[in-house]
Amino acid sequence: MPDPGLLLADSSNLLAARNQMAFTLGFHIILACLGVAFPAIMLIAEYRGRRHGDPDALKLAERWSRAVAVLFAVGAVTGTVLSFEMGLLWPHFMERFGDAVGIGFAIEGLFFFTEAIFIAIYIYGWKRLPGWAHFWSGIPIFIAGLGGAASVVAVNSWMNQPAGFELDAQGNVTDVSPWEVLTNPASGYEIPHMILAAYMVAGFGVASVYAVGMLKGRRDRYHRVGFLIPFTVACIVTPIQIFVGDTAAREIADHQPAKFAAMECVYETGPDQTEWIGGICQDGEVKYGIGLPGVDSFLVGWSTDTVVTGLDQIADDEEPQALTLLHTSFDVMVGIGSALLALAAWFAFVWWRRRDLPQTVWFLRAAAVSGVASIIALEAGWIVTEVGRQPWIVQGHMKVEDAVTDAQGLWWVLGFTFLLYVALGVGAYLALRALSRRWREADPAEVTEPYSPRHEEATR
């Protein structure tokens, strides 16, 4: 029987490095979204509490600040791991392009420490700062979250559409323009797309917790306000996100044609391209999918005569390989986004008519699912962004296989990292559960079970 250690040593470094980067980024991005948007939701609750004398909103803001602290602490660990991975897994990338990408990471570091300092002040100041002074102490948390997200996503968008530098005869980066690096052509749509996604994840995610509580019969005002504040935020940003995402897709079609062709499984360049919903991209065709003739061309250029670049115009060694994964991920992202838009419209219409939540158990059930659904859409979107750029780590300048480390033992590192992240995830869950249990014990609410099966049968 072969020695497992030898098998691991002989395995591809590139595959191990890709798997580790995918796993750690996929884990961290959820915490990053909560770190960006949850403080804003917390501040909205405090503003309402102080502006309207709402004790329930103030109680929510104080309790949410403790959850923000837990999530920030875990996110700090996972983010630190990612920053080390950039140099340890991809040393040739950092050696060659560090002068460009280092700018965004350095700025993000400043925002990170700013956020950490003011989170501590905000939590410590609940009983020590006067009302509005305490509220204003939280504003830097909100600003730092936006700034940190923008600087990191600017690096990622630069990898998709690099700009702001020159290469000398040896291929080394020279004449770096920090402003042009940060404002590269892709940053105009990637940054708002990511920040809006963060607000959807945090809004629907936090609201889903209270939706579950309401389904269990906790219909007191505290749970109602706890649901309405984050859910309203998510509903407001969702249609904006749909618009930004649509704009981003057209920009990708123009400037990253290989990625777009893979997303939509476009094999041959030409007009009147079919939009495929679902299906398997294999052997130059889409199998088992639902085709909408001409719709893909129309969405790209508002005309079925719009020519869309296919994979036949992309060099074989530059084509993304995981076509079905990319196509499915794109469909999942768009499909869930559309479903959440419908949920937001349902809520908005009923609230406009009655100033109340829809009086059906199915609305709360959908809201309870929306948190997980938004995370799935987030992960699918990152698969499209990252896998769609393959085989490039910097589009048109360096391939991923040329950037990976030559060090051995990466599979062991991946295994250790997996265990570490499992421990972090379990720890964060237990900490949040302990906070939730303590809060319920502090102010027990009468459970009326208005959405229980018995209640449904009684009202039929």
pTM: 0.90
Integer Cα distance of 62 and 58 in angstroms: 6
Integer Cα distance of 137 and 125 in angstroms: 8
HSE, side-chain direction, 13 A CA sphere, residue 201: 24
Integer Cα distance of 92 and 90 in angstroms: 6
Smallest CA-to-CA distance from 194 within 323, 67, 378, 344 is with: 378
Smallest CA-to-CA distance from 7 within 416, 408, 405, 418 is with: 408
Integer Cα distance of 76 and 81 in angstroms: 9
Integer Cα distance of 339 and 352 in angstroms: 20
**Bridge partner list, 281:** 286
Neighbours of 127 (CB within 10 A): 7
Per-domain boundaries in the chain: 20-400+424-458
Q: What stretches of 284-373 adopt beta strand conformation (E)?
A: 285-287, 290-292
Query: Under a CB-based contact definition with an 8 Å cutoff, are residues 147 and 112 in contact?
Result: no
Q: What is the pLDDT of residue 457?
A: 41
Mean pLDDT per 10-residue interval, the chain, length 460 residues: 42 85 92 93 94 92 92 89 88 89 90 93 90 92 93 92 86 86 92 95 95 88 92 96 92 90 88 88 85 89 88 86 89 94 94 88 94 95 90 90 88 90 91 87 60 44
Q: What is the pLDDT of residue 445?
A: 54
Burial of 37 (0-12, 13-18, 19+ CB in 10 A): buried
Three-state secondary structure along 189-226? HHHHHHHHHHHHHHHHHHHHHHHHHHHCCCCCHHHHHH
